[in-house]
């Protein structure tokens, strides 16, 4: 999954000169000598792996959406009744937090691209934050979303009687939102892995920056999927 894509980043080739700064050290990578004929450029493994992985995930969620609309067309009365149990304002709140986490994630990627791992000023000086600070904030926002989803499940099961086996609506609701929650959790683990690697190495390298970019692609993907789920389940109903 996304962790496998991060592993592939370690094998991706570097084709241009880049510099990254980490704790006062500068690491550089060099391009091939322009005087020699360039060999055919092979696709970067991390890019190919990310595209293949996200494509497979897209097909998986497309199947869930197809299942949702099929069940809905076969039991419109159940949908009309059970959809009233959902707390739309609460779902909108955690959705907003998750969407904003894509913004903070992208700020972290921009910091990684310029080689800024950690902040260069006070923690209150947001403009001087590095990749770690932005990714920590993204991690906290993603964790808030998962906590909100767990709370919503508890309310629906304990107080409103909507369970996985209660009816087709309950089955597809928990299946679709639950699998998405699992993907968000995997994304949170990927953030921890990327941040952990910056503490384990003395220099911030090109492959670490690539790992941050791969994780951001995955995170944006799960955010877009959730927007589609939110509109389908909570708005259109």
What is the domain partition of the chain in residue ranges?
Answer: 46-236
Q: CB neighbours of 3 closer than 8 A, spacing ≥ 6?
A: 186, 189, 190, 193
In order of 184, 193, 211, the CA distances from 144 in angstroms are 11, 19, 24
Contact 8, 47 (CB under 8 A): no
Q: At 92, which helix (H) or strand (E)?
A: helix 88-113
pLDDT in tens, the chain (237 residues): 554 555 544 444 333 334 444 444 444 444 444 344 343 444 467 778 888 999 999 999 999 999 999 999 999 899 999 999 999 999 999 999 999 999 999 999 999 999 999 999 999 999 999 999 999 999 999 999 999 999 999 999 999 999 999 999 999 999 999 999 999 999 999 999 999 999 988 888 888 898 999 999 999 999 999 999 999 999 997
Which CATH superfamily groups domain 46-236?
Cytochrome c oxidase, subunit III, four-helix bundle (1.20.120.80)
| Residue 44 backbone class (left: φ over 0; alpha: ψ -120 to 50; beta: rest) | beta
Tokens in use for 66? Answer: 């197809």
Enter the DSSP assignment of 32: P
SS3 116: strand
């Amino acid at each position: 999954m996304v962790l496998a894509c991060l592993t592939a980043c370690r094998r991706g080739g570097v084709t241009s000169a880049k510099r990254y700064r980490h704790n006062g050290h500068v690491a550089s990578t060099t391009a091939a000598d322009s005087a020699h004929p360039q060999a055919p450029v092979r696709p970067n493994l991390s890019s190919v792996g990310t595209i293949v992985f996200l494509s497979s995930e897209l097909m998986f969620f497309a199947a869930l959406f197809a299942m949702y609309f099929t069940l809905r067309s076969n039991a419109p009365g159940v949908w009309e009744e059970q959809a009233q149990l959902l707390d739309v304002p609460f779902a909108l709140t955690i959705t907003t937090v998750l969407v904003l986490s894509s913004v903070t994630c992208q700020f972290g990627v921009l910091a990684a691209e310029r080689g800024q791992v950690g902040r260069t000023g006070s923690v209150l000086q947001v403009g001087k934050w590095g990749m770690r600070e932005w990714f920590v904030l993204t991690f906290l926002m993603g964790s808030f979303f998962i906590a909100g989803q767990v709370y919503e499940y508890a309310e629906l099961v304990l107080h409103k009687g909507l369970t996985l086996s209660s009816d087709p609506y309950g089955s597809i609701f928990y299946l679709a939102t639950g699998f998405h929650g699992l993907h968000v959790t995997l994304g949170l683990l990927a953030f921890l892995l990327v941040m952990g690697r910056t503490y384990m190495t003395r220099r911030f390298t090109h492959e670490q920056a690539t790992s941050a970019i791969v994780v951001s692609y995955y995170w944006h993907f799960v955010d877009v999927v959730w927007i589609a789920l939110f509109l389908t389940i909570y708005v259109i109903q």
